[in-house]
Amino acid sequence: MLDYRNRFMLRSAAALAMLSAAVHFLHRALGWFQTGMGHVMPGSAAPSGMAAEGSALSLNLLLAVPFLLLLAAIPFGRGRTGAAAWIAPALATLSLTFSSISIIAGSGGSVEFHFSIFMVLAIAAYYESMRLIALMTAVFAAQHVGGYLLAPELVFGASRYPFSMVLIHALFLLLTALFTCLQIRSKAREVSRLEAERRHKQEQLEGLLGRVQELSRTLDASASSVAGLSRESAAQSAEVGSGLAEAVRLQQRQQSAVEQAQAGLADIAAKARRAAEVTGGTQHKALAADAGLEEHRLGMESLLRQMEDAGVILRDTAASASGMVKASEAAEAMVDSVREMAEQTSLLALNASIEAARAGEAGRGFAVVAQEVRKLAARSGGTAEQMREIVRSMRLENERAASRIEEGLRASETAAVRAEQSLGQFRSLQQELLDMSGGIHALTDSIREMDAGCEAASSRMADIAAGADQTSRSAQRLALLSEQQRAASAQTDGEVRRIAVLASDLLAGSQGGGAAAGASEPEPGLDRRDSTGEAAGPGLRHPA
């Protein structure tokens, strides 16, 4: 930035030096400005011949000084630090100053060419340095005082010039320099204020981005936790489904055994009816029936234990479903927190946009960043709302699954009670058969009673078969519910992965916004402090 400003000023100084040479040539060689330009004030004496224009040696010296200063400044034009940072601007300013002095002297001191003083003052103001303005003003003041005392022809175009006019020249020169310095100081203060405000808002934005990053990390961790719970629930559902399928198979085998028992009891009844005719084989058949009943009783006890195991599994599944409901409620609360923080982020971004709009042109870049943050906050709020609906749907599905598991658990407990009752009936029937075996000698008298007992046992076995069929259907329903719960867990896992991806996108966006907010500071100005030590100019920038 500094070398660009030096290049511009060196080119301007070169143009002014060439203009000075042109004025010297037009006036001294061609005599263009000898008549009609200079105005002799009352009380002054017009010059005559070369005496009015000054000696050729003085004019040539004044013509050469700007070029010499320009040549001396060129090697320091690219310096940014150390002595080069102020030598090049000082030499360029002196070259401009002596170019104006040379123009005035080369024109024969014509009043019209005194306007070149204000031109070079305006050019020097490009450096925004009060010291350089003071240096130029001091040189012009020395020119006027020295010219008035030593060579008025070179400055005022007359051998005698009223001192009051010299004072008027000096007054307007000082006023011009003063107001230029005041403008530089005012601009420096305003730029400093805007710079401080920009830094303050940048710090606020960086803090906001830090909070967004922390929120994204928290959301990512929560999503990972929910995903773990979902996978665990899916595994438990698969395990429960496998256990229920096994229970269904066992129940079907038990039902087949009950049907076989019914057939055996019918056969026993037939044999009992034939016992009146064949009493010799009655005892053997009774013992065979007792053995069959013992086998069926053991099968019923095994079925009862399996149903109790299934009840334990269902209780564990119900507890897991309840845990998933609580986890879904916690995730829903966290999503609400995310949505609230997104709304706060949007409000902060809106305030930042308003402050950037107040800052005007200087806050345009910051306004763009604030607008992007506001869009990001809006996206975060929308995403949080979607997440909230997803988590709420998950919670409702888990609650329904838990309710169905509780129903299955109650049905399983009812079936277990009925199986226990059936087992008691088996034991009673077995005892009856044992009594029948002990009273084989009285079989002929009690054949009708035994036939009635066999029919009652057959009826009970039918009830047992019906209960076993109902238990099988309940187990099948529970297996279906377990499969549905596993599918819901898989869907939950997919939604959690989507939440994790959204959290990663939000974190990456906040980090990208933080990098954009950390833009580089402008280079320090050439001379930002005046003689009092206060800031005298803003940082160097390209001309508007």
Amino acid identity, position 396: L
Model confidence pLDDT, tens digit, residues 255-301: 777 677 677 767 776 776 776 666 656 667 667 767 776 777 787 77
Q: At what angle do helices 447-517 and 282-359 cross, to 10 degrees?
A: 20
pLDDT band at 544 (very low <50, low <70, confident <90, very high): very low
Q: Which of 185-189, 307-311, 400-404 has the lowest mean pLDDT?
A: 307-311
Query: Quick one: pLDDT at residue 67?
Result: 93
Cα distance between residue 401 and residue 489, in whole Å: 11
Who's near 425: CB < 8 A, 6+ residues apart?
A: 460, 464
- The answer to whether residues 200 and 448 touch, using CB atoms and an 8 Å cutoff, is no
Q: Which of 164-178, 308-322, 441-455 has the lowest mean pLDDT?
A: 441-455
Query: Quick one: pLDDT at residue 539?
Result: 36
Query: Quick one: pLDDT at residue 219?
Result: 72
pLDDT band at 21 (very low <50, low <70, confident <90, very high): very high
Q: In the chain, what percentage of residues exceed pLDDT 70?
A: 75
CA 49 to chain centre: 81
The residue ranges of every structural domain in the chain are 2-161, 197-515
For the residues 208-214, what does the mean pLDDT come to? Answer: 79
The pTM for the full model equals 0.40
CA 406 to chain centre: 43
Q: Which of 96-100, 289-293, 492-496, 517-521 has the lowest mean pLDDT?
A: 517-521
Query: Quick one: pLDDT at residue 18?
Result: 93
- The answer to whether residues 30 and 101 touch, using CB atoms and an 8 Å cutoff, is no
Rg, Å, the chain Cα set: 54
Query: Quick one: pLDDT at residue 319?
Result: 81
For the residues 149-158, what does the mean pLDDT come to? Answer: 78
**pLDDT higher than threshold 60 for residue 51:** no
Q: Which of 55-69, 77-91, 309-323 has the lowest mean pLDDT?
A: 77-91
For the residues 8-13, what does the mean pLDDT come to? Answer: 86
For the residues 24-35, what does the mean pLDDT come to? Answer: 78
For the residues 529-540, what does the mean pLDDT come to? Answer: 37
Query: Quick one: pLDDT at residue 295?
Result: 78
DSSP code per residue over 303-329: HHHHHHHHHHHHHHHHHHHHHHHHHHH
Cα distance between residue 327 and residue 444, in whole Å: 72
Cα distance between residue 73 and residue 69, in whole Å: 6
Query: Quick one: pLDDT at residue 512?
Result: 63
Who's near 278: CB < 8 A, 6+ residues apart?
A: none
Q: Which two tokens stand for residue 229?
A: 């719970």
| Choice between 436 and 326, residue whose per-residue pLDDT is larger | 326
| Choice between 166 and 529, residue whose per-residue pLDDT is larger | 166
**pLDDT higher than threshold 50 for residue 382:** yes
User: What integer best gives the mean pLDDT of the chain?
Assistant: 75
Query: Quick one: pLDDT at residue 468?
Result: 67
For the residues 517-533, what does the mean pLDDT come to? Answer: 41
Query: Quick one: pLDDT at residue 68?
Result: 93
Of 219-233, 244-258, 404-418, give the range with the top mean pLDDT. 404-418
Q: In the chain, what percentage of residues exceed pLDDT 90?
A: 4
pLDDT band at 15 (very low <50, low <70, confident <90, very high): very high
| Choice between 194 and 507, residue whose per-residue pLDDT is larger | 194
Q: Which of 151-155, 308-312, 400-404, 460-464 has the lowest mean pLDDT?
A: 460-464
Amino acid identity, position 239: E
**pLDDT higher than threshold 50 for residue 520:** no
**pLDDT higher than threshold 60 for residue 135:** yes
Model confidence pLDDT, tens digit, residues 64-77: 999 999 888 888 86
Cα distance between residue 26 and residue 98, in whole Å: 18
Query: Quick one: pLDDT at residue 83?
Result: 63
For the residues 81-95, what does the mean pLDDT come to? Answer: 79
**pLDDT higher than threshold 70 for residue 50:** no
Model confidence pLDDT, tens digit, residues 250-264: 767 777 776 776 777
